Amino acid sequence: MKANRLFSQVIRPLPDEVLSSWIYRGVKLRDSKLTELAMVFYAEGITDPDHSDSEKTAQIIQSIFGHSALLLKTLVPKSDFWIPPPKYRRRYCEECIYDDISRGHHPGFRKYWIYRWAVGCPVHSSPLSTALTDPFEDIKNSTQALLAGTNTLFSQELSYLQQTRHELIHSCKFSCERGYFLIAFYFQKWLSRQMQSSRIVLPNGQAVSAFSLFQMIEIISEAAMRPHTPYERYTSSAYSYLPKRKWPYQGIADLPLINDVAAYPVDLVTGFLGCVSMLLKIPSCCIIWGILSRHGFNYWTPTSCSLFPDDDRNYHQVIIDQLSANPLLGMVQGWLLDR
């Protein structure tokens, strides 16, 4: 096992591996330092070292390893880039799991899989899969990844972006899910580049914080997914032109509908993310949508009506009220008026 240059005498984190996964692998491999760290986390009641407990986590790591807490940034996702609660961090790349196993590693959970807007693997350009159970329970994210990986070793598909242009366009013509994935994946690429700066610069030149942008997207998604009545078991039909026509049926009458996009498989959220990218006028997404629109009737240019349909719930005002202090309020008001 190669040594880790950041933290000496412990196992090396896998590329882009998240902190809790690294600790769990260390415990499985009986690494003394990481086992000690896991025990301290347990004693201190830290259940989410990757995000919500990151400040306390940094202090503990500094005390155990004697390094600056700045090194922790290499092992945790960016906190203001729309991270869901642990129970919804279920997406993973089957090909990454296969790579880990084939190289003799216990599979690791990547930082990139955590974000709500992450729909594809940046390494393999393939859609992320979704675990059926909570992979972060008791900080055992890589356990679920291992189970998923062993079940899919021989079910790898050709990555979308490894196809020729003709093959890609042809497949998207007959599968709108593939087309929406491609658009959402380029939106993901655009967001990834924005991570390099302190503020997100929108195509219209407006610079905003990551918090402001993702607050706007979250409020829109939550409002649009509200059921019409307490007895309706589907979320809003706002996305009536998108794949699946409606969001998933929950099937349990005593439980509320889940209105967090992270709770759903990738193929059910790419349409929403693709539509948002078009309203924001992300250049690469607009170009791809334009190409696809010439090859299939599923890709007419979305308008604000795609996300803000008329109904009796009056959630337009809900969105405006919740965005009252957001610098993107004017943009959203423009979308609501452009109907």
Chain segment 277-298, per-residue pLDDT in tens: 988 999 999 888 888 877 666 6
Structure tokens, 148: 């998923």
pLDDT at 136: 40
pLDDT at 227: 56
Chain segment 184-215, per-residue pLDDT in tens: 999 999 999 999 888 999 999 999 999 999 99
Q: Compute the Cα dihedral for 114, 243, 146, 120 and give only its sign.
A: negative
Distance CA(337)–CA(71), nearest Å, equals: 47
Distance CA(119)–CA(92), nearest Å, equals: 9
- Please check whether residue 313 is in contact with residue 232, taking contact to mean a CB–CB distance below 8 angstroms: no
- Please check whether residue 93 is in contact with residue 110, taking contact to mean a CB–CB distance below 8 angstroms: yes
pLDDT at 280: 92
Distance CA(292)–CA(263), nearest Å, equals: 28
pLDDT-wise least confident of 99-103, 199-203, 276-280, 304-308: 304-308
- Please check whether residue 13 is in contact with residue 75, taking contact to mean a CB–CB distance below 8 angstroms: yes
DSSP string, 101-152: HHTTPPP--BGGGSSTT--B-TTT--BPEE-SS-TTGGG-HHHHHHHHHHHS
CA angle 253–313–231, rounded 5-degree value? 15
pLDDT at 163: 59
Chain segment 21-50, per-residue pLDDT in tens: 888 888 888 888 888 888 888 888 888 888
- Higher confidence at residue 89 or residue 293? 89
b/e map 155-171, b = 16+ CB within 10 Å? eeeeebeebeeeebbee
Mean pLDDT of 161-173: 63
**What is the share, in percent, of the chain residues with pLDDT greater than 90?**
17
Amino acid at 8: S
Where do the structural domains in the chain lie, given as residue ranges? 19-151, 176-337
Report the candidate in 267, 288, 264 with the shortest Cα–Cα distance to residue 277: 288
Mean per-residue pLDDT over the chain, rounded? 75
Helix (H, G, I), strand (E, B) or coil at 235: coil
- Higher confidence at residue 208 or residue 136? 208
Q: Give the number of residues written for the chain.
A: 339
pLDDT at 139: 33
pLDDT at 303: 65
* pLDDT at 319 exceeding the cut of 70: yes
